[in-house]
A and B are shown apart, each in its own frame.
Chain A
Amino acid sequence: MNTVTKEMVINVDEYLALDKYEVDEKNAHIEVDTDGSDAEFEKLMLVCPAGLYKRDDDGKKSFDYAGCLECGTCRIACGDTIVTKWVNPGPSMGVEYRYG
Chain B
Amino acid sequence: MSDYEAIVVGAGCAGTVAAYELAKAGKSVLLVERGNFAGAKNMSGGRIYVHSLRKVFPEEILNECPFERRITHERISLMAPDSNFTIDFSSEEMKKEGRESYSVLRSVFDQWLAEQAEGAGADCIFGIPIESLLKDETGKVIGVVAGEDEITADVVILADGVNSLLAKEAVGAKRPIASQVAVGVKEVFALPEDTITNRVLADSSDDGAAWLFVGDATHGTFGGGFMYTNRESISLGIVAGIEATATKGKASVTKMLADMKSHPGVAPLIKDAHLVEHSGHMVHEGGLQSMPEFVGDGVLIAGDAAMMCINLGYMVRGMDYAVASGQMAAQASIRAIDREDTSKKGLEHYRELLESSFVMQDLRQFSNVPQFMAGFDRMFGVYPEMIRDIMNSLFVIDGAPVRPMKKTLRPIVKGVGTMNIARDGLGALKAL
Q: Chain A residues in contact with chain B, CB under 8 A?
A: 1-2, 4, 8-10, 12, 15-16, 18-19, 43-51, 69-73, 75-77, 79, 86-92, 94-100
Contact, CB under 8 Å: A96 / B35: yes
Cβ-closest chain B residue relative to A89: B129
Q: Is the CB of B275 within 8 A of A10?
A: no
A6–B168 Cα gap in the complex (Å)?
Answer: 38
Contact B250 A8 (CB under 8 A): yes
B233 at the A interface (CB under 8 A) = yes
Given A73-B282, A97-B42, the answer on whether A10 and B254 have CB atoms closer than 8 Å is yes
A57 to chain B, nearest CB (A): 17
Specify which chain B residues have a CB less than 8 angstroms from the CB of A96 in the assembled complex: 35-36, 40-41
- Nearest residue (CB) in B for A98 is B107
8 contacts between A and B (CB under 8 A): A18-B277, A18-B278, A47-B253, A50-B254, A69-B279, A90-B129, A94-B41, A99-B106
By a CB distance below 8 angstroms, the chain A residues around B281 are 49, 69, 71
Interchain CB contact under 8 A, A18 and B276: yes
Task: Name A69's closest neighbour in chain B (CB-CB).
Answer: B280
Q: A76 contacts B178, CB within 8 Å?
A: yes
A21 to chain B, nearest CB (A): 11
Pairwise interchain contact B280-A71, C-beta atoms closer than 8 A: yes
Residues in B neighbouring A2, C-beta threshold 8 A: 247-249
The interface stretch among B55-63, B88-96, B182-190 is B182-190
Q: Shortest distance in angstroms between B76's beta carbon and chain A's nearest beta carbon?
A: 23
Contact status of A71 and B258, CB under 8 A, knowing A76-B176, A91-B127: no
| A76-B279 contact given A10-B252, A12-B254, A94-B41, CB 8 Å threshold | no
Give min CB distance, B68 to chain A, whole Å: 10
Q: Is A95 within 8 A of B163, CB to CB? A: no
Contact check, B188 vs A99: say whether CB atoms are below 8 A apart. yes
With beta carbons under 8 angstroms apart, the residue of A8, A77, A92, A99 that contacts B107 is A99
- List B contacts of A97 (CB < 8 A): 39-43, 106-107, 277, 279
Could you tell me the distance between the alpha carbons of A7 and B246 in the complex, rounded to whole angstroms? 16
Asked if residues A18 and B275 are in contact (CB atoms below 8 Å), the reply is: yes
Apart from A71-B163, A73-B181: 5 A-B pairs, beta carbons within 8 A: A2-B248, A12-B254, A15-B187, A76-B175, A79-B175
Whether B184 pairs with A91 at a CB distance below 8 angstroms is no
- The distance in angstroms between the C-alpha atoms of A4 and B250, with both chains bound, is 8
